[in-house]
Structure 1
């Protein structure tokens, strides 16, 4: 992977996050404004990135095979991240409940609002499609294994599985169906519409993250560094490097390896505080991990990619 495009993209993302923080300072997020931003990003921007990518790719057996491989890798590698986070927490001597919480914030990354636009910028339409599939596989792991770890009674709930039915997931299914039926590319107006709306996803996502980060930091919630050191180290360094090295063992295409290497380097998933609150877990830990891992990831993503570049 060429480092210059990655560094340029990370720099641009960092600037957009800073702009979001400045906007958040003058116009703090309200419930309504937060819902509006989430709706535009998740229900408009990200699905259009997925559809725009699929509209530009011929649906071949090779691409279908890559999609299934990436989906499976996403699930398995998310399990690896959770396992590494759990082991690190237990070595610290924390309780089983706390170890499970630390495992979740260590294993699940922001592969949607950050990873998907980043892969689209670095690898083009195919990178966007594979990144979206990776996000879908990680979501499946989150709402099964992740939710079980956060509950006192270990079980998969119907409510959790319902969360898998969302507009980005529907965009993947619809795009694959249309491509498989030979109905792509679509008419020019539809193609231009998805391309235009896809372009809003990354700027809006970064600005929203900046506003969200400022909102969390403004509350000045105290949190012992000792509680965050291990999950931060696992999420941003140990897990992405271990996962990237692991996939080099298998005869995978360079496109898959590059997309997976970027996705596993993402910071803690943005909805972690919501999921933790929903299942009575430590919402404060989830919120602070989201904040600090996102800030640190602007530095760690290029560093991890440089380490991986020696082996990929």
Structure 2
């Protein structure tokens, strides 16, 4: 029970910030473009600086050299989850114009806007490299296979644009991670004033991410939340099948215990906040995607303490 309540407190830290964002959105503090601006600040400025700051302060060459081979675990997990999503979509008779979106939401998780803050609240800065390794696999799958599946649901034909895809995969957060790694490997000492700027700007990442989620929940509307067989299928993939599969992959693996906990937790994060944006862009069912982001985000606040308690047994 101690682990459960500790985990619950970590989640409550996140929940309070989400509620603040929700209340401010309900009070009309934000314009229609505010959530996009906040998302851009987080992903293009705050999070890359957060990566550089944390990597250069808290990690050694030896620790970083051991990270990249562990990329295989989230990759294998997502490949298997994709296979399961195809079978479950057919089993649930998900209609054709929602099938790709269903599958994409089934095997991709929200590793940044929810996963990063929750892991930091529960495990501290030492979890960041493992969060980033999972993020690398997750973002690659979403902007390639996941986007293809969503685009196939919408109007028009699908075209693979290698440059657009690479731009999405090699995003500012990933570049921030890579810069931090290079600085550590080369033993480069950042000037004090730059290190301070990185720290202060990076500290915006978690609160702004949570305010963004609060705005997204308010925009989707709590009244629109209705559990159907389609939503239950996605939720089962996110919170039951994904963590079970990752647990099985890591069961006998000779890796740090913290990495196991972070990978399992990351696998059980809610639906990616990018899903409604991509769905709207390609004429797929953006409303369904937005509702699933809301449902899965709210449910994650219940699922995480339960999952953390099970991980400690």
Structure 2, gaps ≥5 residues long: none
Structure 1 match to 2:278: 275
Q: Does 2:184 correspond to 1:179?
A: yes
CA distance 1:281–1:160, change in 2 (3 Å): farther
Residue 96 of structure 1: how far off its partner (Å): 5.4
Mapped contact 1:17–1:206 kept (Cα < 8 A): yes
Structure 2 match to 1:145: 145
Task: State TM-score, norm by structure 1.
Answer: 0.89
Q: For residues 4-58 of structure 1, what are the alpha-carbon distances to aligned partners after superposition, in whole Å with 9 as ceiling and x for unaligned?
A: 4422110111111111111111116434322321122222221222112111134
Structure 1 match to 2:310: 307
SS at match of 1:266: coil
CA distance 1:5–1:46, change in 2 (3 Å): farther
Q: Does 2:210 correspond to 1:202?
A: no
Residue 221 of structure 1: how far off its partner (Å): 4.6
Mapped contact 2:21–2:212 kept (Cα < 8 A): yes
Structure 2 match to 1:78: 78
CA distance 1:129–1:15, change in 2 (3 Å): same
Q: Does 2:83 correspond to 1:101?
A: no
Task: State TM-score, norm by structure 2.
Answer: 0.89
Residue 233 of structure 1: how far off its partner (Å): 1.7
Q: Does 2:168 correspond to 1:167?
A: no
Residue 293 of structure 1: how far off its partner (Å): 0.3
CA distance 1:160–1:124, change in 2 (3 Å): same
Residue 112 of structure 1: how far off its partner (Å): 0.7
Q: For residues 250-269 of structure 1, what are the alpha-carbon distances to aligned partners after superposition, in whole Å with 9 as ceiling and x for unaligned?
A: 22221211210121121001
Structure 1 match to 2:243: 240
Residue 294 of structure 1: how far off its partner (Å): 0.3
Q: Does 2:229 correspond to 1:226?
A: yes
Structure 2 match to 1:296: 299
Mapped contact 2:77–2:245 kept (Cα < 8 A): no
Cα distance in 1 for residues equivalent to 2:57 and 2:225: 48
Structure 1 match to 2:111: 111
CA distance 1:5–1:297, change in 2 (3 Å): same
Mapped contact 1:237–1:300 kept (Cα < 8 A): no
Mapped contact 1:147–1:160 kept (Cα < 8 A): no
Cα distance in 2 for residues equivalent to 1:85 and 1:284: 20
Query: How many pairs are equivalent?
Result: 307
Cα distance in 1 for residues equivalent to 2:207 and 2:300: 17
Mapped contact 1:117–1:128 kept (Cα < 8 A): no
Structure 1, gaps ≥5 residues long: none
Ranked by relative contact order (alpha carbons within 8 Å, sequence separation 6 or more), the top structure is: 2
SS at match of 1:110: coil
- Deviates most, 172-181 or 76-85: 76-85
Residue 242 of structure 1: how far off its partner (Å): 2.4
Residue 299 of structure 1: how far off its partner (Å): 0.2
SS at match of 2:112: helix
